[in-house]
Amino acid sequence: MSEATIIDGKAFAARLRETVAAEVAALKADHGVTPGLAVVLVGEDPASQVYVRNKGEQTTAAGMYSETHRLAADTPEPELFALIDRLNDDPAIHGILVQFPVPDHLSQDRIVARISPDKDVDGLTVTNAGRLASGLPALTSCTPVGCMMLLKDALGDLRGKHAVVIGRSNLMGKPMAQLLLAADCTVTIAHSRTVDLPAICRQADILVAAVGRAEMVRGDWIKPGAAVIDVGITRFPSRDPEKAAQGKTRLVGDVAFDEAKAVAGWITPVPGGVGPMTIACLLQNTVTAARRLNGIA
Ligand code: NAP
- Using one digit for the tens of pLDDT, what is the confidence trace for 108-163? 999 999 999 999 999 999 999 999 999 999 999 999 999 999 999 999 999 999 99
Sign of the torsion angle spanned by Cα atoms 152, 154, 159, 161: negative
Name the nearest CA neighbour of 88 among 136, 63, 121, 135.
121
pLDDT of the residue at 127: 98
Q: How far is the CA of 172 from the centre of ligand 1 (A)?
A: 7
**CATH 3.40.50.720 domain range(s) in the chain:** 142-276
What are residue 78's phi and psi, to 5 degrees?
Answer: -60, -35
**CATH 3.40.50.10860 domain range(s) in the chain:** 31-117
Residue among 165, 169, 274 whose CB has most ligand 1 atoms within 8 A, to mutate: 169
pLDDT of the residue at 125: 98
Q: How far is the CA of 271 from the centre of ligand 1 (A)?
A: 16
Beta strand pairing call for 206-209 and 186-190? unpaired
74 CB burial (10 A radius; 0-12, 13-18, 19+): exposed
Pocket of ligand 1 (CB under 6 A): 143, 166-169, 171-173, 190-194, 197, 210-213, 231-233, 274-275, 278
**Ligand 1 atom showing the smallest separation from residue 146 Cα:** 40
Closest protein CA for atom 35 of ligand 1: 232
CATH number of 31-117: 3.40.50.10860
- The class level of CATH for 142-276 reads alpha beta
CB 153 within 8 A of CB 8: no
Strand ranges of the sheet holding 95-98, from the earlier edge strand across to the other edge: 65-71, 36-42, 95-98
Report how far apart, in Å, the C-alpha atoms of 62 and of each of 15, 53, 224 are. 12, 14, 39
Q: What parts of the chain have a pLDDT lower than 70? A: 1
Q: What is the pTM of this model?
A: 0.97
pLDDT of the residue at 297: 87
**What is the number of other CB atoms lying within 10 angstroms of the CB of residue 145?**
21
